[in-house]
Structures are given as structure tokens and as C-alpha cells.
Amino acid sequence: MKKVALLATALAMVSGSAFAADLPTKALKAPPPPAFEPWDIAFGSAIMNDYIFRGITQSNHQASVAAYFEPRYNVNKDLQLYLGVSGESISFPNRAAAEIDVYGGIRPTFGIFAFDFGVWGYLYPGGQCFNAGAFPGSGIPGSELNCVLNGSLPNGNVAKRDASFFEGYGKLNIAINDQWSVGFNEYYSPNFLNLGAWGNYSSVTAKWTAPGTIFGSSGVGMYVSGEFGRQWLGTSDAFYGVTSVLANYSAGIPEPSYNTWNVGVGFTWKVFTLDLRYYDTDLSKASCNAFTSDFQTKDFNPAFITAINPGGFGSNWCGAAGVAKLSADLTAITNLK
């Protein structure tokens, strides 16, 4: 009798376990997808040994610092609106205090094609006028008493008090795969650097991003990138006009168009990027001086005398330069949540 009771108990346990195994188990509820956040803010800063813009130094080959702040609104995952402001330290012929940029635009994306359309304003507050001939009533654009009091620069170059201007731009970046991308850029200004001359800049870019494991588990990434561009320029106004036995450009000089290129390697870690880059242009020292109004050059050579540069001074502001730039870039959603 005892054996029968034990057997019955065992059978009940086995059948109970089997029945329990057949019961449907309650699935764990998947966490809800993160809510779409349309607003974001990008911001960052940088320090570099030289500030180069389209192959030409903006800081007289001296160190420069920069910072930016860019609110963004994501209409959806493929369409972003943005506004931004940035600042860079410079060393301009008109002795402007800084470069302040105000910009805005739209960034639509279609698969591997990322577009960017907008307007960029370059402001240079605190400048002074240097041109002894641009006195009030002379008819020269930019004429003011300040020009007469300051005279021309020591090497005879001239500079307007205000070099501010704006550009409209369009960009296309194509992500070929996870490692390769190419870009095409177009900028146009009706009055580049307030020279009185139109400006058009076109360039192509390429970038290779190394696999994330190139430096093991260190978290350090690497890329190699480069750009080739062409800056076309029209004729300046009379403020920059010159007259010599070579030509009469009293109404304004034909500003020298030029090619520029750069190539470099970058290393990334968390929010930091160290970019090491080589820049150059095909501008001669004479053409560079005529275009930039280099306030510091004392490099005189009869070979530098040209129709647009009759003073014979040459500038190295447009020559080969190596730049090391350390920057930090963050976004509110990614880095501050």
C-alpha cells in the first residue's frame, strides 16, 4: 500500500511538470522605441597653428582659435534645418578684431546622397581703412576720413574698413560605403571679401575612414581626406585700383583666380579630432600680394612687379602650409543626455 502511494505521488509530479511545460509562457514586453527628438544642438571649439581658408592664411601664419554653436531641427530622419554662429581669431590687413560667421540652411538626405543648401555670412568687425587716396569726395568706394588719417599700409597695400560678405552654397556628399565618401561643393558671392568682385568657389573632396578596429579596442579612429578647389574672381572696385606703365587699372584690378588643394590625416577619439593637413595654391607671390593686401610683407623683388601688383612686393600668405588642428565636437542628444 505504501509503494502504491509513492508511485501515485511520483506520477502526479511528472504529469504536473509536463502540463506546466505545455502552458503558454508570458512574453516579455519589448521596450518602446526611443521617442523622436526633433531638436538638437551641435557645438565645439578648436585650436590650430594656422587658420587656412581656401589655401590662404587668415591669421598671418599664426595660431588661431575657433568655436561654433549650431541649433538643429530634424523635421524627420532625412531632413534637417539648422542655424549657426561661429568665430575665429584672425590677422587681417584691416586689423579686424575677429571673424564672426552667421549661417543657416537645410540638409536633405536621400539614401547615400546627403545635400546641404544654405547661406553663409562672414563678418569682420572692428576693421580700419587704409588707403590715403580714398578721401571723402574722391569717388572711390569705401572713402572716409579714417582712410586719410591711417594712410596706406607700410608696403603700399590698401584695405577697406569692412571686409564682410556673404555666400550662397550647395554641397553634396555621397557615402559610397562605410569607408569611402566623395563630395562636391559650390559657393557663390556677388561681392567676395567686399572687394567689389564676384567670387565663385567649386571643389571636390574625398575621404577614406579606416575600420574601427585599426587601433584595436583603443577607441581611436583614423581617416585620410583631401580637397581640390578652384576660386574664380571678378574685377575689384576702384578702391583697389592701380595705375602703372604696365596697365591702367584705376577702376579696379582683375582679381587673380587660382587653384587650391589640401590633403591630410585625422585621428579621432571620443569627441576629439586631431587633423594634420597640408595646404597649397598655385598663386604666385605677386598675385597673392595683390589679392590679399598682405600688411606685413617686406619681400620686394623686381620680378614681383606685375600689372596688378606694381609695388613689387610678394606675399607668402598663399604658399604651402602645414596645419595641426585639435578640435572637440559635441551634440546635445549624443553627448549630454
Confidence band (pLDDT; 50, 70, 90) for 267? very high
Is residue 125 scored above 90 in pLDDT? yes
Higher-confidence residue: 17 or 99? 99
pLDDT tens digits along 154-199? 999 999 999 999 999 999 999 999 999 999 999 999 999 999 999 9
β strands within the chain, DSSP E: 39-48, 52-53, 56-57, 64-76, 79-88, 99-110, 113-123, 165-175, 180-189, 199-209, 220-233, 242-243, 248-249, 258-269, 272-281, 299-300, 313-314, 321-331
Cα–Cα distance, 61 to 55 (Å, whole number): 12
Ranges 18-27, 210-219, 305-314: which has the least confidence: 18-27
Mean pLDDT of the chain: 92
Average pLDDT estimate for 251-276: 98
Helices (H), 139-265: 145-150
Nearest to 108 by CA among 171, 187, 182, 40: 171
pLDDT value of position 37: 87
pTM here is 0.89
Higher-confidence residue: 31 or 298? 298
pLDDT tens digits along 210-262? 999 999 999 999 999 999 999 999 999 999 999 999 999 999 999 999 999 99
Confidence band (pLDDT; 50, 70, 90) for 18? very low
pLDDT tens digits along 46-71? 999 999 999 999 999 999 999 999 99
Confidence band (pLDDT; 50, 70, 90) for 6? very low
pLDDT value of position 1: 47
Confidence band (pLDDT; 50, 70, 90) for 336? confident
Q: Please give the C-alpha separations between residue 283 and each of 41, 144, 165, 253, 317, in angstroms, as whole numbers.
A: 39, 31, 22, 16, 10
C-alpha cell belonging to residue 35: 521617442
pLDDT value of position 27: 59
Please tell me whether residue 159 adopts helix, strand or coil conformation: strand
Bridge pairing between strands 258-269 and 220-233: antiparallel
Please tell me whether residue 289 adopts helix, strand or coil conformation: helix
Cα–Cα distance, 136 to 148 (Å, whole number): 9
